[in-house]
Structure 1
Amino acid sequence: MNTKNRLITAAIAAIVLIGGVGYYKSALAAGTSSVPGSTNDPIVTKSYVDEKIAEAVGAGGSSSTSAQLEVVTVALGKKLIVEAGGEVIVRAGKAIAYSSDVNGLSDLTDGLDIPPGKAVSNNHLILFPRDGRGIEADPGQKSGLTVLVRGGYKIE
């Protein structure tokens, strides 16, 4: 019986070894483990990657709104009306929220809603969720506002 057990153990070990080698070779043939620089895994240059990234960014769609912050001066008595999705940061002056309806502006810095007619804090990021909303200079001050705007806007 002892020899029989050794023979069975050796046969099982041989089958496992042959099966493992076969599985490994089939994984290589399927391309799951490719060699860097081969046709399955080519090496590319930095300039090629930069070019593809620039193409992808350029094809991201065109928009009439700017992705950069723009410095805007709002004269006393004028309103800065920001398009939906626009953002404003009041840098100088005292601003008052304006809205064509009863809803206000979103102060993302404090996480509050600013109703129309209430003060807008300086250096806070303000989101304009819909068209027809904006800010104006507080009539009690002597000069206008200096703000940073991201997105479409008009001064009325």
Structure 2
Amino acid sequence: MKTVWKVSMATALLAGSVWAGSLLNSTADGASVGSQPGTADDPVVTKSYVDQQIQKALQGGVAATQAPSATATPAPTKAPAATAAPEQASDAVAIVDVKPGQTLIAGAGAEFIVRAGKAIVYSQDANGVADLTAGVDLLNGQAAASNHLLSFPREGRGIQVQDGQTLGLVVMVRGTYTLK
């Protein structure tokens, strides 16, 4: 008798579990929420939409950065010296070779990255150049590390080849510059 009672209780417990599970399953599937994909409750974003929004943002960003540079380009018309090369201006990155004895002078807001060679900072005053990678200011005569982003807040500052070096520098430049 005990065996029959155990089997019937197990069957009743199993049937009750299946019944309770079927009631809970309808809410787990989201049937009670009633939201459809693509509505405000459940938005669907496609890759093409994301790409389109990125392109709009990039075009807006390019237009915003080109407008200030167009107004900043006419300012460097003053030639620093009669022997200096004409200034180059661009928002694009230029690769500049600096030979020993030459000085690469930055325009206001220019950015340099020394890619090859050993460079030192050149400054006409006591202020220096911001090494944005290391988070330090480099003063006149201090070494500029390779592959560090250097920011030049004012004209008249730059870099030159370190004394004793026979090879020149290869520098990535963004902004205006003069090669003396």
TM interval, shorter chain, is 0.5 to 0.7
Structure 2 Cα separation of the partners of residues 131 and 34 of structure 1? 61
Q: Which residue of 1 aligns with 2:123?
A: 99
The Cα offsets for residues 21-70 of structure 1, whole Å up to 9 and x where unpaired, read as xxxxxxx9xxxx96432377664532233122201211111334536x54
Residues 67-82 of structure 1 aligned to structure 2 (within 5 Å): 70-82=94-106
The Cα offsets for residues 56-96 of structure 1, whole Å up to 9 and x where unpaired, read as 211111334536x5432112222222233433232322212
Structure 1 Cα separation of the partners of residues 155 and 36 of structure 2? 55
Structure 2 Cα separation of the partners of residues 48 and 77 of structure 1? 54
* Residues 80, 40 of structure 1: alpha-carbon distance in 2 compared, 3 angstrom cutoff: same
TM-score (normalised: structure 2): 0.54
Secondary structure at the aligned position of 1:49 is classed as helix
In structure 2, what residue type is equivalent to 1:138?
A: Q
Secondary structure at the aligned position of 1:53 is classed as helix
Structure 2 Cα separation of the partners of residues 122 and 145 of structure 1? 10
Structure 2 Cα separation of the partners of residues 111 and 48 of structure 1? 39
The CA RMSD over aligned residues, in Å, is 3.0
| Percent of aligned pairs with the same amino acid | 52
Structure 2 Cα separation of the partners of residues 40 and 49 of structure 1? 19
* Residues 35, 81 of structure 1: alpha-carbon distance in 2 compared, 3 angstrom cutoff: farther
1:58 equivalent to 2:73? Answer no
User: If each structure's helix is expressed as a fraction of its own residues, which one has the higher value?
Assistant: 2
In structure 1, what residue type is equivalent to 2:56?
A: E
1:88 equivalent to 2:112? Answer yes
Residues 39-50 of structure 1 aligned to structure 2 (within 5 Å): 43-50=44-51
Q: How far off is 1:103 after superposition?
A: 0.5
Q: Which residue of 2 aligns with 1:148?
A: 172
The Cα offsets for residues 88-119 of structure 1, whole Å up to 9 and x where unpaired, read as 23232221211232200122344332111232
* Structure 2: tracts of 5 or more residues without a match: 1-32, 70-89
1:113 equivalent to 2:122? Answer no
Structure 2 Cα separation of the partners of residues 92 and 38 of structure 1? 55
In structure 1, what residue type is equivalent to 2:59?
A: G
Q: How many residues align?
A: 124
Q: Which residue of 2 aligns with 1:11?
A: none
Structure 1 Cα separation of the partners of residues 142 and 95 of structure 2? 23
Q: How far off is 1:155 after superposition?
A: 2.1
* Residues 144, 45 of structure 1: alpha-carbon distance in 2 compared, 3 angstrom cutoff: same
TM-score (normalised: structure 1): 0.60
Structure 2 Cα separation of the partners of residues 155 and 41 of structure 1? 59
